């Protein structure tokens, strides 16, 4: 999937969580940080690729320098960072970062952590729809996807992703928010 589709999948994961009522009362600051962490986490599994959108978004070319140092650690694209072990490691790293920032970042770190896990997981789900699949049980060298036969999955950045998946996901989000409107209103009214 492309970065914009991953961003929309990450947004969708948070949208579903709010629409299902899984969002506790929080401050506006927590909500904004959670949304940002969700978007960053939704792109994080692709840090194993030096051309990742997340590397390109870092200022002053620092991403290209950092990517040359960091990407070899992951092995290759869709390797450990696209697995359940990678998700667990990401969760540990995020928890340590949040514990370190807790003294000066005045937000609910549990909500931020769950937002990061939702974003990261949404990336894996989205990549499961592509022909390449995802090695959920790495180091076992089997990639899983939906549908199970890779021929029927979509090509990353292809026309089906651009003209069916992305607009379809926009419509699904619009419908989801419309049908759960009262829950969203209560959520936003409950912001401190």
SS3 labels along 68-85:
HHHHHHHCCCCCHHHCHH
Provide the domain limits for residue 72: 3-189
Q: What is the mean pLDDT of residues 156-173?
A: 93
pLDDT at 120 over 90: yes
Q: Which two tokens stand for residue 125?
A: 């789900």
Q: What is the pLDDT of residue 6?
A: 93
- Does the pLDDT of residue 63 top 70, yes or no? no
Residue 61 binned pLDDT confidence (cut-offs 50, 70, 90): low
**26-35, 41-50, 87-96, 114-123 — which is least confidently predicted?**
41-50
- Is the pLDDT score of 93 beyond 80? yes
Tell me the residue length of the chain: 192
Give the model's pLDDT for residue 50.
73
Q: Please state the domain count of the chain.
A: 1
Q: What is the mean pLDDT of residues 75-83?
A: 81
Identify which of 128, 119, 150, 145 has the alpha carbon closest to the alpha carbon of residue 1.
Answer: 128
> Mean per-residue pLDDT for 85-114?
92
Which pLDDT belongs to residue 141? 86
Average pLDDT over residues 38-58: 84
- Give CA separation, 119 vs 9, 101, 140, 141, in Å: 8, 20, 24, 24
């Amino acid at each position: 999937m492309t970065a914009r589709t991953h961003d929309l999948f990450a947004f969708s994961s948070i949208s579903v969580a709010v629409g299902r009522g899984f969002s506790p009362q929080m401050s506006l600051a927590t909500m904004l940080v959670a949304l940002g962490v969700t978007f960053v986490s939704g792109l994080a599994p692709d840090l194993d690729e030096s051309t990742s959108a997340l590397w390109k978004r870092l200022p002053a070319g620092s991403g290209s320098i950092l990517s040359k140092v960091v990407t070899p650690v992951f092995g290759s694209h869709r390797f450990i960072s696209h697995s359940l072990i990678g998700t667990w490691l990401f969760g540990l790293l995020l928890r340590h970062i949040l514990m370190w920032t807790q003294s000066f970042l005045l937000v609910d770190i549990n909500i931020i952590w769950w937002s990061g896990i939702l974003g990261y997981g949404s990336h894996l789900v989205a990549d499961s729809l592509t022909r390449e699949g995802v090695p959920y049980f790495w180091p076992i060298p089997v990639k899983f996807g939906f549908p199970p036969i890779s021929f029927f999955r979509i090509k990353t950045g292809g026309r089906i992703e651009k003209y069916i998946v992305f607009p379809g996901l926009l419509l699904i989000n619009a419908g989801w928010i419309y049908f759960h409107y009262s829950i969203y209103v209560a959520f936003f009214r409950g912001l401190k």
